[in-house]
Amino acid sequence: MANPTPLKPTGASRLRQLLKDPNHTVVAPGVYDGLTARIALAHDFECLYMTGAGTNMSKLGTADLGIATMNDMVQHASMIASLDPSVPVIADADTGYGGPIMVARTVRAYALAGLAGLHIEDQVQEKRCGHLSGKQVVPREVYYSRLRAAVKARDECGSEMLIIARTDARADSGFDEAVERLKGAVECGVDALFLEALQSREEAERAVKIFQGTPMLLNMVPGGKTPQMGVREAKECGFRIYINPTLSLETVVRPLERAMKLLKEEGRDECEPIGPNALFRICGLDDAVAFDQSVGGVAFGGQK
């Protein structure tokens, strides 16, 4: 009998390994569906980020106004995480979708779905994108009850998934209030911190310095509240995780709009031809055919 193939490390354990190196910044491109995740995996990114804004837009066709439910998010995240379970996927978990009992349910669902990390924020339930104006946050103790519930639920189900505490308080309550909230989050036992909508590089450097010893995540949204920084600049500031949620969306929307306009107004296609085989290969065609043949399947033997 052949020896079984050793199991690959889970995404969560791999993410924890990556964060052990204090000089390494984990780069997680934002993906919003299976195709964008496949393209990121083909380019050997060590981690992926499932954007909540992208999930709202791609799955529901809505703006990021807290419309996606826990079930929407878990279903989407599970699909992305399943494409390569050894590659960590960090996912948006918004407010946890309710009080402490609901937050615990959310965390268990994300853990069972194979997520390596999730972030929970302090916005009210009627939340919105972190880079829109008019955000409101809950009192500190409500926020902390969410975080304690997340940590407790994660530990009770035996998962290694990271709990990342996000605060949106910077926008309307100021930098100092956001820092105080994250200090309390550390006491709740979270694994990493996410100060949303930092408004200068100086603020970014100050935040990292204040929380030395706890990994900080930088959210880079072109056109958002935070000045544009690339991976090199984020690493210089000391950030340990770098996400850019709208990368895939930004690179797709305008070219697609132009192609649709041209088809409608001039009746012709204008795109770089790829063809179905190349598209399917991005999404695992060769691996699927090889697996089929390895167990005696014949249905796809003539596939080119």
The CA-atom distances, in angstroms, between 127 and each of 80, 133, 137, 151, 212 are: 24, 11, 9, 22, 29
The answer to whether 292 is a known catalytic residue is no
The answer to whether 43 is a known catalytic residue is no
Token pair of 247 as six digits: 């990368």
The answer to whether 110 is a known catalytic residue is no
Token pair of 67 as six digits: 């419309």
Given the residues 121, 122, 191, 203, select the one marked as catalytic: 121
The answer to whether 196 is a known catalytic residue is yes
The answer to whether 129 is a known catalytic residue is yes
Given the residues 14, 16, 38, 119, select the one marked as catalytic: 119
Given the residues 32, 49, 144, 242, select the one marked as catalytic: 49
Given the residues 14, 146, 166, 240, select the one marked as catalytic: 166
Given the residues 38, 56, 76, 94, select the one marked as catalytic: 94
Given the residues 64, 168, 191, 203, select the one marked as catalytic: 64
Given the residues 128, 143, 219, 240, select the one marked as catalytic: 219
Token pair of 123 as six digits: 């916005």
CA distance 161 to 182: 19
Given the residues 47, 129, 188, 237, select the one marked as catalytic: 129
Q: Who contacts 32 (Cβ-Cβ below 8 Å, separation ≥6)? A: 50, 51, 54, 55, 57, 58, 248, 249
Token pair of 188 as six digits: 């709740």
Given the residues 14, 32, 92, 143, select the one marked as catalytic: 92
Among 50, 53, 55, smallest CA distance to 72 is for 55
Beta-carbon count within 10 A of 194 CB? 24
Q: Who contacts 219 (Cβ-Cβ below 8 Å, separation ≥6)? A: 130, 194, 196, 197, 226, 243, 244, 245
Q: Which residues partner with 194 through β-bridges?
A: 166, 217
CA distance 261 to 267: 9
The answer to whether 119 is a known catalytic residue is yes
Backbone angles phi, psi at 293, to 5 degrees: -70, -35
The answer to whether 168 is a known catalytic residue is no
Maximum C-alpha span of the chain: 64
Residues labelled as active-site residues: 49, 64, 92, 94, 119, 121, 129, 166, 196, 219
